[in-house]
Amino acid sequence: YSASTIGKAFRLLKQALKDATNSEAILRNPCDTVKPPKRANKNPGINSLGAQARGDLLGKLDALALSPVSVAARIALYTGLRRGEVCGLQWRDLDAKNKVLWVRRAVSIGKGGTYVKQPKTDKPRDVALPDTLLAVLAQWKEQQRGDYADKLATLREDSYIVGDALGYLSPTRLTKEWAALARLCGVRGVEGRLPSFHDLRHTWATMFLASGGDVKTAASNLGHANAAMTLNALALLAATSNHYRLSACRP
């Protein structure tokens, strides 16, 4: 049997014996000293989008009404930000004049729920914005302003870009809504699977470097401590995909 099948049977047995222990039918739970087999990793490789799949996805997103998850997906595809960083963006972080987006905070998940913290590198950074994304954000801001007004609220500079009148969008909710949107769009990554939201970040990195972008700028956008981390990540992607070459990762 597979490790997954054995694990399900083991968890059921362990729970039953725990109840027996609590009712003093037995002295101890014999499953406490037993470890079930580890489940094999079902997602072994990086599943970024190829150039055609990325273009198809953007085309399908353009055909849909703007929503927090579709806007978040565009931000990840055009900037390479992490899921929590996208959720933590506020309108005051957008500098439309200079075409940059400031990453000053991230939404993280802890035992007590979600909370706002500093970015992973503990320091703010800025990422360049293409005109296409700027236009989408401008349109989304006006739509969001109307949604706030319908709820008798006011869109402020400290309102969250992919949130609502109640606050930021939870990273967990973003993951679930993105999975549903990816299935709706029929998008597949280079490994043939539905891409996770984090795969959109890898997509930006590979597309940026393949188009001639330098590693130092990629590392800055991604929030890596140094360029070596970016090269290691891209080397892993190149090793698991036929769509990109290691030569594209060189400075």
Q: Give yes or no for residue 244 having a pLDDT over 80.
A: no
pLDDT digits (tens, 9 = 90+) for 126-180: 999 999 999 999 999 999 999 999 999 999 999 999 999 999 999 999 999 999 9
Mean pLDDT of 41-49: 73
What is the distance between the alpha carbons of residues 187 and 206, in angstroms, rounded to a whole number?
A: 17
| DSSP assigned state of 125 | E
pLDDT at 44: 59
* pLDDT bucket at 205, cuts 50 / 70 / 90: confident
More confidently predicted of 154 and 42: 154
More confidently predicted of 32 and 230: 32
More confidently predicted of 33 and 39: 33
φ/ψ of 164, rounded to 5, equals -140, -165
φ/ψ of 90, rounded to 5, equals -115, 160
pLDDT at 232: 58
Amino acid 84 reads G
pLDDT digits (tens, 9 = 90+) for 229-242: 555 555 555 544 44
Orientation angle between helical segments 171-185 and 51-63, nearest 10 degrees: 100
Is 227 in contact with 219 (CB distance < 8 Å)? yes
Q: Give yes or no for residue 40 having a pLDDT over 90.
A: no
Helix, strand, or coil (residue 235): helix
CA distances, 155 to each of 138, 140, 180 (Å): 13, 12, 27
pLDDT at 74: 97
More confidently predicted of 110 and 39: 110
